[in-house]
């Protein structure tokens, strides 16, 4: 998950990442500030899979903390700011959060529960406070060098809590793989809402086509993809290709690149289409294309 900021910081550093209340952070800004958060958290003793809690309304600081925690493989627990102080305390303790970030609007909540927090060692206020560490002052003391920690796909990167309507709230843990598995839904939301409201995304041009079995089948039929005799024999025999095996990964990578080459060829002819839109078109065409070779078979939740 942290690689999102790393990649965009390196490749699109001057492009806007977040605009909030008249202030814009570029991807380079966000990359640097998340590295400062990561180093600050490490200095406070957080490590891989340790939890930190965050109480505030929407703002850039949340994303800085979220991605910064990801850069040391720590886990952010976003606490619903609408909860009562006692409910907040339960979630913070249950998650065993070691650090608590809290917005100034919720300092009265903190004052009511601070003595009940059993695992929190450090509190950082996202604004002015005369008696506690403040976010910007803490951030300014940290180096902006990326700690370079690499997380695994099955590491937790995000922890949410249910509403607790039928009992106490329950922690829901999302892994890096879970998060990336939801990416295709971004394009679907854009399509359903026609780019407006919940479907308004500003950087869909960076989205590739999606892992799939029908699109490579069609690209192969059209002569865009070619398989080695050994791979073709396995597919013809309907032999499963293990997920993440070199052959399965190469099919995915070659399909992404093939769709990108199609996009570029269309652009040269004055036709504008984004990779995910070509994905939709190719997948639909593949449903009715006759006389194609079998598609490759892989057991995975990501297709």
**What is the reported pLDDT for 211?**
79
Helix axes 246-268, 214-221, angle to 10 degrees: 60
Q: Cite the residue boundaries of each domain of the chain with CATH code 3.40.50.12780.
A: 3-181
pLDDT band with cut points at 50, 70 and 90 for residue 303: confident
Q: Which pLDDT tens digit goes with each residue over 87-126? A: 999 999 999 999 999 999 999 999 999 999 999 999 999 9
**What is the reported pLDDT for 199?**
65
CA angle 232/303/234 to nearest 5° reads: 15
**What is the reported pLDDT for 181?**
73
Range scoring the smallest mean pLDDT among 175-179, 194-198, 289-293:
194-198
Asked whether 256 and 192 are in contact (CB, 8 A), the reply is: no
Range scoring the smallest mean pLDDT among 186-200, 228-242, 244-258:
186-200
Q: Which residue has the higher pLDDT, 151 or 191?
A: 151
**What is the reported pLDDT for 289?**
87
Q: Rounded distance, CA 39 to CA 140, Å?
A: 11
In the chain, pLDDT over 90 holds for what percent of residues? 70
In the chain, pLDDT over 70 holds for what percent of residues? 92
**What is the reported pLDDT for 189?**
65
Asked whether 146 and 71 are in contact (CB, 8 A), the reply is: yes
Q: Which pLDDT tens digit goes with each residue over 186-209? A: 666 666 666 676 566 666 777 788
pLDDT band with cut points at 50, 70 and 90 for residue 51: very high
Asked whether 73 and 1 are in contact (CB, 8 A), the reply is: no
Give Dmax over CA atoms of the chain in angstroms. 73
Asked whether 31 and 9 are in contact (CB, 8 A), the reply is: yes
Among residues 249, 243, 235, the alpha carbon closest in space to that of 293 is found at: 235
The pTM assigned to this predicted structure is 0.67
**What is the reported pLDDT for 97?**
97
Q: Which residues contact 242 (CB under 8 A, 6 or more apart)?
A: 248, 298
Q: What is the 3-state secondary structure (H, E, C) of the chain?
A: CCHHHHHHHHHCCCCEEEEECCEEEEHHHHHHHHHHHHHHHHHCCCCCCCEEEEECCCCHHHHHHHHHHHCCCCEEEECCCCCCHHHHHHHHHHCCEEEEEECHHHHHHHHHHHHHCCCCCEEEECCCCCCCEEHHHHHHCCCCCCCCCCCCCCCEEEEEECCCCCCCCCEEEEEHHHHHHCCHHHHHHHHHCCCCHHHCCCCHHHCCCCCCCHHHHHHHHCCCCCCCHHHHHHHHCCCCCCCCCHHHHHHHHHHHHHHHHHHHHHHHCCCCCCHHHHHHHHHHHHHHCCCCCCCCCCCCCCC
**What is the reported pLDDT for 25?**
94
Question: Residue 218: is its pLDDT beyond 80?
Answer: yes
Class of domain 3-181: alpha beta
pLDDT, the chain, mean: 91
**What is the reported pLDDT for 185?**
67
**What is the reported pLDDT for 164?**
67
Tokens at 83, concatenated: 């909860």
**What is the reported pLDDT for 162?**
84
């Amino acid at each position: 998950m942290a690689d999102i900021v790393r990649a965009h910081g390196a490749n699109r550093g001057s492009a806007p990442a977040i605009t909030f209340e008249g202030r814009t952070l570029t991807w380079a800004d966000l990359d640097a500030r998340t590295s400062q958060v990561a180093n600050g958290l490490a200095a406070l003793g957080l490590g891989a899979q340790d939890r930190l809690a965050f109480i505030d309304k929407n703002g850039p600081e949340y994303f800085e903390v979220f991605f910064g925690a990801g850069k040391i493989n720590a886990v952010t627990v976003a606490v619903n700011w609408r909860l009562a102080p006692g409910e907040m305390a339960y979630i913070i303790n249950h998650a065993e959060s070691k650090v608590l970030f809290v917005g100034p609007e919720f300092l009265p909540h903190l004052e009511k529960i601070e003595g009940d927090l059993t695992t929190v060692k450090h509190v950082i206020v996202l604004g002015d406070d005369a008696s506690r560490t403040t976010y910007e002052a803490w951030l300014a003391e940290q180096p902006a060098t990326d700690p370079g920690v690499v997380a695994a796909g099955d590491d937790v990167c995000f922890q949410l809590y249910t509403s607790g309507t039928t009992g106490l709230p329950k922690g829901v843990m999302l892994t890096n793989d879970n998060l990336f598995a939801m990416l295709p839904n971004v394009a679907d939301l854009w399509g359903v809402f026609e780019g407006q409201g919940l479907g308004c995304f500003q950087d869909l041009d960076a989205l590739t086509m999606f892992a799939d079995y029908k699109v490579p089948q069609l690209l192969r039929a059209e002569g865009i993809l070619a398989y080695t005799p050994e791979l073709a024999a396995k597919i013809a025999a309907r032999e499963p290709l293990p997920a993440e095996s070199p052959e399965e990964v190469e099919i995915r990578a070659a399909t992404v690149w093939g769709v990108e080459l199609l996009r570029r060829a269309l652009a040269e002819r004055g036709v504008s289409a984004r990779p995910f839109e070509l994905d939709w078109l190719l997948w639909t065409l593949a449903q009715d294309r006759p006389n194609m070779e079998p598609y490759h078979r892989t057991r995975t939740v990501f297709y």
